């Protein structure tokens, strides 16, 4: 198991290097530079700017310098926001993104598991079809459609909840968390339903029920742990997806999270910021997948044994 963990950690290094290299090359290939503006920048000023940010060095030198600074934990200055470094910008946006992702994940897990369990308990009934239809809608409805719809309904029509902002008014976290978590809730519901159906048909469940164990106990204590295996496997990529894929929701609801910085960096050709956020998100995805694998192994003795061999 330890060997497996070490191997997984080591394979992350070339993956990350490849991400840095590809991102570096791709952003430089994109037309338009960080200082292009509607009002043409005078040639002399552009020259000074390029010199100041070492953009006049040959590309391999720039890449070498970037990697060298990166190894020392320096993501460089932001071209767009001259008073801030990329590290500061990531540190500014990250807590909000994590908070949003956490609420969305809680919402997804809570709603998804409950719906999945209830749907599985009455398979092929109208309740099951209702839950799964809603789940299908959740999967199909992109956040840029769901978000504005919720805003119109709960924000504008009923005036129950604020329509944008973060930490500016009570209840401003509800709509974005639901919007971000909806699709994941739907996946969790379907995975839970599938897992529950499989577990509920097992002999030991039948035995437990024959022994007179209450339905609640059978579901919660006997079936749920096994039924949630696919959900746990999904949780890692889901957590990474929630953190790295929140930029649409952050834009719709004007949330000052990292996703919004990421999007703006791409539009601004803020090279260092694009690289910094990409590396950061790539690391998150690698990390969460790694944690999910470890958890799966921990929950599944068969898998643990096979890894031990």
Binding of another protein at residue 29 (CB under 8 A)? no
| CA distance linking residue 242 with residue 176, whole number of Å | 12
Q: Nearer Cβ to another protein, position 60 or 170? A: 170
In whole angstroms, the minimum distance from the beta carbon of 299 to another protein comes to 25
Given 155, 181, 195, 276, the residue binding another protein (CB under 8 A): 155
Total number of residues binding another protein (CB under 8 A)? 65
Under the binding rule (CB under 8 A), the answer on residue 193 touching another protein is no
**For residue 57, what is the DSSP state?**
S
Residues 216 and 275: their CA atoms lie apart, in Å, by: 50
Whose Cβ is closer to another protein: residue 19's or residue 161's? 161
Q: Specify burial of residue 224 (Cβ count, 10 A radius: 0-12, 13-18, 19+).
A: middle
Residue from 33, 194, 237, 245 in contact with another protein (CB under 8 A): 33
Binding mask 81-110 for another protein (x = CB under 8 A): xxxxx---x--xx-----------------
Residue 206 falls in which region: left (phi positive, over 0), alpha (psi -120 to 50) or beta: alpha
From residue 43 to residue 62, the character string flagging contacts with another protein as x (rule: CB under 8 A) and all else as - is xxx--xx--x----------
- Tell me the closest approach of the beta carbon of residue 33 to another protein, in angstroms: 7
Among the listed residues 286, 290, 277, the one whose alpha carbon sits nearest the alpha carbon of residue 20: 277
User: DSSP assignment of 292-307, as one string?
Assistant: HHHHHHHH-HHHHHHH
Question: Under the criterion CB under 8 A, does residue 158 sit at the interface with another protein?
Answer: yes
> Looking only at residues 108 through 127 of this chain, which bind another protein when binding is defined by CB under 8 A?
114, 118, 121, 127
Binding-site member from 211, 215, 302, 309 for another protein (CB under 8 A): 215
First to last CA, the chain: 9
Nearer to another protein, 215 or 309 (CB): 215
Among residues 154 and 234, whose Cβ is nearest to another protein? Answer: 154
State how far the Cα of 135 lies from the Cα of 128, in Å rounded to an integer.
10
**246 vs 297, which CB is nearer to another protein?**
246
Interface residue with another protein, options 10, 40, 71, 210 (CB under 8 A):
40
Q: What is the DSSP string of 192-238?
A: HHHHHHHHHTSHHHHHHHHTT--HHHIIIIIIHHHHTHHHHHHHHHH
Residue 75 DSSP one-character state: -
Distance (Å, whole) CA 163 – CA 183: 20
Instruction: Determine the Cα–Cα distance for residues 69 and 75; give it in Å rounded to an integer.
Output: 7
Which tokens belong to 60?
A: 């391999």
Minimum CB distance to another protein smaller for 195 or for 257 = 257
Pick between residue 81 and residue 288 the one whose CB is nearest to another protein: 81
Interaction between residue 80 and another protein (CB under 8 A)? yes
Interface with another protein includes 280 (CB under 8 A)?
A: no
Q: Which is nearer to another protein, 2 or 168 (CB)?
A: 168
Can you tell me the distance from the alpha carbon of 163 to that of 166, in angstroms, rounded to the nearest whole number?
10
* Chain residues in the site for another protein (CB under 8 A): 30-33, 35-45, 48-49, 52, 77, 80-85, 89, 92-93, 114, 118, 121, 127, 148, 151, 154-156, 158-171, 174, 215-216, 251-252, 254, 256-257, 260-261, 264, 267-269
């Amino acid at each position: 198991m330890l060997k497996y963990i070490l191997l997984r950690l080591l394979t992350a290094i070339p993956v990350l290097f490849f991400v840095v290299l590809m991102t570096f090359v791709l952003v430089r290939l994109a037309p338009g530079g960080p200082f292009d503006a509607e009002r043409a920048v005078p040639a002399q000023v552009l020259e000074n700017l390029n010199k100041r940010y070492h953009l006049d060095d040959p590309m391999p030198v720039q890449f070498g310098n970037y990697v060298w600074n990166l190894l020392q934990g320096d993501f460089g200055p932001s071209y767009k926001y001259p008073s801030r470094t990329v590290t500061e910008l990531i540190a500014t946006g990250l807590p909000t993104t994590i908070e949003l992702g956490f609420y969305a994940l809680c919402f997804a897990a809570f709603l998804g598991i409950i719906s999945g369990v209830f749907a599985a308990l009455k398979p092929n009934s109208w309740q099951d079809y209702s839950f799964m239809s809603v789940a299908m809608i959740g999967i199909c409805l992109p956040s840029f459609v769901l978000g504005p719809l919720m805003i119109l309904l709960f924000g504008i029509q009923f005036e129950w909840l604020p329509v944008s902002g973060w930490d500016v008014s009570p209840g401003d976290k509800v709509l974005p968390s639901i919007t971000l978590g909806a699709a994941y809730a739907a996946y969790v519901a379907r995975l839970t339903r599938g897992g529950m159906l499989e577990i509920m048909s097992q002999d030991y469940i039948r035995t437990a029920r024959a022994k007179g164990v209450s339905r609640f106990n059978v579901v919660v204590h006997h079936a749920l742990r096994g039924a949630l295996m696919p959900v746990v496997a999904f949780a890692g990529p889901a957590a990474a997806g929630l953190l790295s894929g929140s930029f649409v929701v952050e834009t719709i609801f004007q949330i000052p999270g990292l996703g919004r910085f990421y999007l703006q960096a791409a539009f601004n050709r803020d090279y260092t910021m694009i690289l910094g956020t990409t590396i950061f998100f790539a690391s998150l995805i690698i990390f969460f997948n790694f944690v999910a694998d470890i958890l799966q192994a921990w929950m599944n003795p068969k898998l643990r044994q096979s890894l031990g061999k």
